[in-house]
Amino acid sequence: MAFGKKKDKKLCAEVVIYTRYERFWHWSQAALIFILAFTGMNIHGAWHAMPMGLAVIIHDSAAIALMTLWIFTAFWNFTTGNWKQFLPFLQVHPEDGRFVTGVKIFLGRLWAVIRFYAWGILKGEPHPYKKTLQRKQNPLQALAYLTFMVIIGPALWASGLAYLLYDLWNDFASAQSWLQIAVFIHTAAAFAMIAFIIVHVYMTTTGKTVFHYIKGMITGVEEVELSEIEKEYLETHAPDLIKDENATC
Amino acid sequence: MFRHKILPVSLLASALLFPALASASAAQDAPAAAKGKGFVSLRQLKSLSTTADHSRFKELQGPFTSGPQVTRACLSCHNKAGRQLRDKVHWTWHYTNPVTGQKLGKAVMVNNYCISARGNEGICAKCHAGFGRSSPDYDLDKLENIDCLACHDGTGTYFKTVVTPGHPRVRALFTPKKPVPWTKAAQNIALPGRKNCGKCHFFGGGGDNAKHGDLSSVLFDPPRDVDVHMSRKGANLACIDCHVGSGHKWAGSRYVMTVGDPGKRAPGAPRAKATCTSCHTQAPHKKTSIIGIKLNGHVDKVACETCHIPAFARGGVATKIFWDWSKAGKLKNGKPYKEGGYTQGNGKERETYMTLEGSLKYGENIRPTYRWFNGVMRYVTIATKIDPSRPVQINSFSGSYDDPGARIYPFKRMQTIQPYDKGNKTLVYPHLWGDDPDAFWGNFDMGRAVARGMKDAGRPYSGQLGYVRSQSWWPINHMVAPKEKAVQCDECHTRDNGRLANLAGFYMPGRDRWWWLDLLGWLAIFGAIALVIVHATLRIIAARKSTPVKEGKE
């Protein structure tokens, strides 16, 4: 589909932009990460909320569940094309509306978003980025989620798997040194993940209302800018997804 | 699928066997086999399968009045038994460590309890598997002196006595109060039971559980919590069910220990090692649970005993943990005396001072000391030059994380202040026991006792008596607790004084961390929280200022 190739008039509507699977992914991932962080810190010795053995059972089970979820999600992202949402440089051209790889466009918009959170939000300015169907995330978000998905996440599961399966390779040469590298990465990435989550959760409060974004992630509905073609397409093929045709973006 | 120690027996077979076992073993110290457990100890099975009733042999009708008289009767039928014993450590008290080449054995060793059997055979050989061993010049080829009854008395009433009468001043303390039941014992022959082994091995070091810490009289009939294998409510095993042997040679040597036994044997191959894994394998935990898999993953680095013996000297009988020989020999009104002062779990009082031994300290339910150990023990001998400025390590060992043959192993540590030769810087053999005027237990003059002990042993002695601190390490293998009483993960995987706090060379989750990584991590987390708080505060302030304007707009 080639939405946005023509220069369209921009419309605004409340549309289900987060599909059921996407929401399931998000919330089950959220729950698992919370469980993993809590039990992981227990294993690390930062606190002693439960016995070590129980923490290990929960942590390992949750880790296996999360990795399974990620395998499904990777499959889902690639088959639906949703993965493109996380490519920061893939942007809608401001003039002709084409979907292009534009580093400059990205940087400009990124700066606008950063400026907004640092300053504009305090002045009551509107958010500089308008969500579209193909760019559900603003550049800062896309960059953050990409970091989450290609750096923090893989660092955690790769080091975690090595850690979990240590007994299978502990007779290799220098196994203990490799284990310590894995443990180091796992711990460092876990701290990064927790810091990420704190900021992420706070950012959900920066919508129109404090719970606006959270509500969006539960219902899947969010205001987006639609081109006329996109609107026509939705009206024809997926009228259920349009919740309010005359929303304010 | 045969376990060589515990044979699984079908329900039918156990229904047939147990009544028979109960009666067969009634005379033994091992009572009725654990009902419903589905297995029975090999000792009990073997006892059942005997085809001879010794009480009816004309050779054993007696009456017997001496040990060798009984042994001659035994050997008249068991004509290979004497030769079998001839080279075994229970008889020779000599042992050459095949790994280190050290010449060991009770005949020559120095420890930090009663110090040495050498020079004191007259009392120490009370626990020799022979008769009349009163000096190092003992004829090991005189096989009629082998004491069959020490190990094969089935009545539990046989006892051994001091070999020489001892110094007149202490003699009365050690004189047997009743005659040895030679004839009765000779007619009630059995495979060695707990009472046979325990009468010596539970009382080493001068008292009940004094030496090992994990071998006490509690094991004659232990509660399940104290020893899950030996309890009647557990597997009800006897010593020889684990310390299996044949030809009068037993598995489980203190001199050459087996650490990290793979536990694998060809079908039908005999078990030659007294190890946990020889029955339980190296993957004894549940393979279908996360914790079970994790625990099986520990087996290559952690000895079974480390987790499954949470403490030693359990069940109410204390063990000696400190002994000060320099205080020995004090008299009250010109007489040797004792002071109680330690009441152990079973209510019995133990001496904290004895003229004969010196000052003593006891402990119960002691958390072991853990060290990497690869099974090779080295001992100080009478010839070793010692450094008196630091505690003498009576035995020492090595091992580390990187040593694939080593495991984390539990130990009892015994600390002693014992006599040594200041001039030659060696440990000494004090002559504690004897009916001569030099014996310490009588004249209470250590200098004289040491001079005599060294002279008799043909060792040099400078004449300068000193006292030196010493330490010995006793691997803990017995008193295995039921699994629900095993050491829990948090007891090692913790930052605060865990059981393995002192072991290095590996990363242990829950105990170890990179402090600076944690610092950076927490800085990141609290930095994020601070950022959130500042930003939220600014937003709230900004929102208040602009509320009237915003109201109209949104």
How many other CB atoms sit within 10 Å of the CB of residue B455? 15
Q: Which 3 state secondary structure label does DSSP give B120?
A: coil
Side chain identity, residue B160: K
Q: Could you tell me if A1 lies within 8 Å of chain B, comparing CB atoms?
A: no
Phi, psi of B254 (to 5 degrees): -80, -20
**Nearest-neighbour CA in chain A from B131: distance (Å):** 52
Alpha carbon separation from B381 to B118, B416, B426, B459 (Å, rounded): 12, 16, 9, 12
Quote the CA–CA distance of B469 and B389 in Å, as a whole number.
Answer: 9
DSSP at A177: H
Q: Where are the domains of chain B?
A: 48-95+119-307, 319-491, 516-554
Quote the CA–CA distance of A177 and A169 in Å, as a whole number.
Answer: 12
**Nearest-neighbour CA in chain A from B302: distance (Å):** 13
- For chain B positions 237-296, those within 8 Å of chain A (CB to CB) are 290-291, 293-294, 296
Residues of A in contact with B543 (CB under 8 A): 124
Furthest-apart CA atoms within chain B: distance in Å: 120
Candidate from B513, B528, B531 with C-beta closest to A45:
B513
Q: Could you tell me if A123 lies within 8 Å of chain B, comparing CB atoms?
A: yes
Q: How confident is the model at residue B37 (pLDDT cuts 50, 70, 90)?
A: low
- For chain A positions 66-95, those within 8 Å of chain B (CB to CB) are none
Residue labelled with tokens 């006792």: B449
- For chain B positions 21-50, those within 8 Å of chain A (CB to CB) are none
Record the tokens describing residue A52, joined without a space: 């070590």
**pTM of this structure:** 0.88
pLDDT at B264 (0 to 100): 79
Average pLDDT of the residues of chain B: 90
Q: Which 3 state secondary structure label does DSSP give B504?
A: coil
**Nearest-neighbour CA in chain B from A66: distance (Å):** 16
Q: Could you tell me if A44 lies within 8 Å of chain B, comparing CB atoms?
A: yes
Residues of B in contact with A121 (CB under 8 A): 539, 542
Q: Could you tell me if A188 lies within 8 Å of chain B, comparing CB atoms?
A: yes
How many other CB atoms sit within 10 Å of the CB of residue B96? 11
**In this predicted model, what pLDDT tens digit does every residue of B182-211 receive, in sequence order?**
999 999 999 999 999 999 999 999 999 999
Quote the CA–CA distance of B30 and B192 in Å, as a whole number.
Answer: 10
Q: Which 3 state secondary structure label does DSSP give B1?
A: coil
**In this predicted model, what pLDDT tens digit does every residue of B43-97 receive, in sequence order?**
888 888 889 999 999 999 989 999 999 999 999 999 999 999 999 999 999 999 9
Quote the CA–CA distance of B474 and B405 in Å, as a whole number.
Answer: 19
pLDDT at B12 (0 to 100): 39
| β-strand partners of B376 | B256
pLDDT at B26 (0 to 100): 39
Quote the CA–CA distance of A4 and B426 in Å, as a whole number.
Answer: 95
**In this predicted model, what pLDDT tens digit does every residue of B388-413 receive, in sequence order?**
999 999 999 999 999 999 999 999 99
The residue of chain B nearest to residue A54, with distances taken between CA atoms, is: B291
| β-strand partners of B415 | B322, B471
**In this predicted model, what pLDDT tens digit does every residue of A128-171 receive, in sequence order?**
888 888 888 899 999 999 999 999 999 999 999 999 999 999 98
One DSSP character per residue, B247-309 reads TTEES--SSB---S------TTPPP----SHHHH-S--S-TTSHHHHHHHHHTTTB-HHHHH-
Quote the CA–CA distance of B470 and B393 in Å, as a whole number.
Answer: 6
How big is chain B by its Cα radius of gyration, in Å? 29
Q: Could you tell me if B523 lies within 8 Å of chain A, comparing CB atoms?
A: no
- For chain B positions 481-520, those within 8 Å of chain A (CB to CB) are 488-490, 493-495, 505-507, 509-511, 513-514, 517-518, 520
ipTM score assigned to the predicted complex: 0.91
Cβ atoms of residues B507 and A176 within 8 Å: yes
| β-strand partners of A101 | A90
Alpha carbon separation from B214 to B28, B210, B402, B477 (Å, rounded): 23, 9, 29, 7
The strand pair at B39-41 and B6-8 is best described as: antiparallel
How many other CB atoms sit within 10 Å of the CB of residue A72? 13
Q: Could you tell me if B527 lies within 8 Å of chain A, comparing CB atoms?
A: yes
> Which H/E stretch holds residue B319?
strand B319-324
